[in-house]
Amino acid sequence: MKVTTQALENRRLRVIVEMDEEQTQKAMRRTARHISKQVKIPGFRKGKAPYDVVIRRFGEDVVRQEAVEKLAEQVFKDALEQEEIVPYAPGALEEIDYDPVTYTFTISLPPEVDLGDYRDYRRDYPAVKVHDAELQETLEDIREEYVILEFVERPAELGDEVIIDADILTLAGEPLASESELSLVMDPQRSGQLPGIVEALVGMAPEEERTFNLTLPDDFQDAAMQGEEVTIIVEMLAVYERTLPDIDDDLARTTGNYETLEALKEYLREDLLEDAQKRSEHQYTEQVLEDIYEMATVEFPPEALEEELDQAVTETEKRIKREMRLSLDDFLRIQNLTLEELREEMKPQVTQQLKRALMLGKVVYQEGLHVSSEEIEVRIEEMSAQYKSRTEQVRAKLQTEEEREKIRNKLYTEKAIDRLVAIAKGEAPPLEPVEDQTAAQEDEGEESNE
């Protein structure tokens, strides 16, 4: 048996197996005996007709074809064993040639990841600090929480807060949006307000109506109207004078257990710094993962992506049922989608998720990372403790084999990400020798089987 292989795209492999004539003849003789047992041949008892008689009776081509077709499955297994090929999914028989007997199979190979020179990757960690402007902005937000509003019977001025009804129409008079009892601070610099609307409201008294034109911003909710001029009809319902507290010790005492403004500022600086560090760490980690992702070469067969899409659809179905009380069929009907169209929409994101997961899995292997049963137990306790009224029920659910495996995979992912961040910072430990990695993984496997 001669086996040759041809690499195809997306981890597909063509396997071509050419049988020698001796193997083919043996298969034909076995098939002839089988035929003679199944079909009554005149002059012979079932199963006793000689090979030559069967050949004359049914034809050599017929016997050869049946023999070769029956042999295909065993030939496939033998070829994989001979070439030490481990398929990712069942193979497919493409074609058979009968002279000489040649089988052509295609199979999918397991995903393959090359991390490149990831161990040489470095990225500077940015310094994190709190700027005075951030602190001042936070203090201003606190002032806003304690603003005093006093109803006044006068026209609106800058600095006031007003309540209005507003209708937005196209220049042709078609309605675009409507707001009732909308609260608006008379500050032209305040974000989230239509540019120019504050200036247009200055001087309006309660119960007064005013009509004016404005240009909608580029982030207006109706994308088709972004940047377009519109007509706005406003009725002033009420005007309030705003009085903000001073930023002083009294404000500090009002907000909590702070005797002085400096004590409040110190707390706010620490809080802002902690938030900034979390954001910086997240951004740094994401950039490291993106850089390593770009360095790596990740290939996988179509079946791997289909499996991930199946899982994504299942998770979507659960979420829709939990959050919307809808079946997947009802959801698809409302969205005017078929299941295949939904899978196609999911494909880009699922593909990226699969590539990243495979990359991190390779990091786990390369770095010799492992997860112990003790680590899984600690995580189970942490997770179940969050549900104080149902701790025991949650713990019991998390102890199932399926949930423990999910937790194990989550811990592997976290460790792989932590290791890549450590590599980027130049803080990673040296790689263990291969034999040490193997021993650790064997120990881990024994733990998981206990």
What pLDDT score was predicted for residue 434? 56
For residue 257, pLDDT beyond 90: no
Are residues 135 and 260 located together in one domain of the fold?
Answer: yes
Are residues 157 and 80 located together in one domain of the fold?
Answer: no
Q: How far apart are CA 13 and CA 24, in angstroms?
A: 25
Q: How far apart are CA 61 and CA 68, in angstroms?
A: 10
Which range has the worst mean pLDDT, 132-136, 172-176, 404-408, 446-450?
446-450
Average pLDDT (29-49) is 81
Are residues 101 and 31 located together in one domain of the fold?
Answer: yes
What pLDDT score was predicted for residue 437? 52
What pLDDT score was predicted for residue 399? 93
For residue 444, pLDDT beyond 80: no
What pLDDT score was predicted for residue 443? 53
Are residues 74 and 218 located together in one domain of the fold?
Answer: no
The verdict on residue 340 lying in a domain is: no
Structure-token pair, residue 439 = 């021993």
Instruction: For 277-300, write each residue's pLDDT tens digit.
Output: 999 999 999 999 999 999 999 999
Domain boundary among 180, 214, 243: 243
The verdict on residue 376 lying in a domain is: yes
Are residues 169 and 286 located together in one domain of the fold?
Answer: no
H/E element, 239: strand 229-243
CATH code at position 223: 3.10.50.40
Percent of the chain with pLDDT over 70: 96
Which range has the worst mean pLDDT, 25-39, 75-89, 232-246, 353-367?
25-39
Are residues 89 and 105 located together in one domain of the fold?
Answer: yes
Percent of the chain with pLDDT over 90: 75
Are residues 7 and 102 located together in one domain of the fold?
Answer: yes
Q: Is 203 left (phi over 0), alpha (psi -120 to 50) or beta?
A: left
The verdict on residue 344 lying in a domain is: no
Structurally, the chain folds into a number of domains equal to 4
Are residues 106 and 155 located together in one domain of the fold?
Answer: no
More confident residue, 439 or 87: 87
Are residues 265 and 128 located together in one domain of the fold?
Answer: yes
Are residues 29 and 106 located together in one domain of the fold?
Answer: yes
Q: Are 58 and 31 in contact (CB under 8 A)?
A: no
Are residues 134 and 88 located together in one domain of the fold?
Answer: no
Instruction: Calculate the CA 40 to chain-centre distance.
Output: 63
Average pLDDT (250-278) is 94
Structure-token pair, residue 294 = 């770009």
Beta bridge partners of 97: 102
For residue 301, pLDDT beyond 90: yes
For 169, the domain range is: 147-243
The pLDDT-based confidence of 36 (bands split at 50, 70, 90) is: confident
Are residues 176 and 213 located together in one domain of the fold?
Answer: yes
The verdict on residue 22 lying in a domain is: yes
Q: How far apart are CA 381 and CA 373, in angstroms?
A: 12
Residues shown for the chain: 450
Which range, 13-22, 185-194, 269-278, has the best average confidence (pLDDT)? 269-278
More confident residue, 437 or 391: 391
The pLDDT-based confidence of 450 (bands split at 50, 70, 90) is: very low
